Amino acid sequence: MFEGVFPAIITPFQRNAGKDLDLDGLRSNIAFLLKSGIHGIVPCGSTGESATLSFAEHEKVIEVTLEEAGGKVPVLAGTGSNNTAEAIRFTRAAKDVGADGVLVISPYYNKPNRSGLIKHYSALADLDIPVVIYNVPGRTGQNLPPDLIAELAKHPSIAGVKEAS
As a whole number of angstroms, the distance between CA 116 and CA 2 comes to: 26
Residue 120 CB coordination number (10 Å)? 21
Task: Say which of 95, 108, 121, 162 is annotated catalytic.
Answer: 162
Beta strands in 1-148 (DSSP E): 76-78, 101-105, 131-135
Report yes or no: 40 and 57 within 8 Å, Cβ to Cβ. Answer: no
Report yes or no: 23 and 60 within 8 Å, Cβ to Cβ. Answer: yes
Find, among 54, 38, 46, the residue nearest to 3 by Cα.
Answer: 38
Task: Say which of 108, 109, 134, 154 is annotated catalytic.
Answer: 134
Residue 162 is a catalytic residue:
yes
Active site amino acids: 134, 162
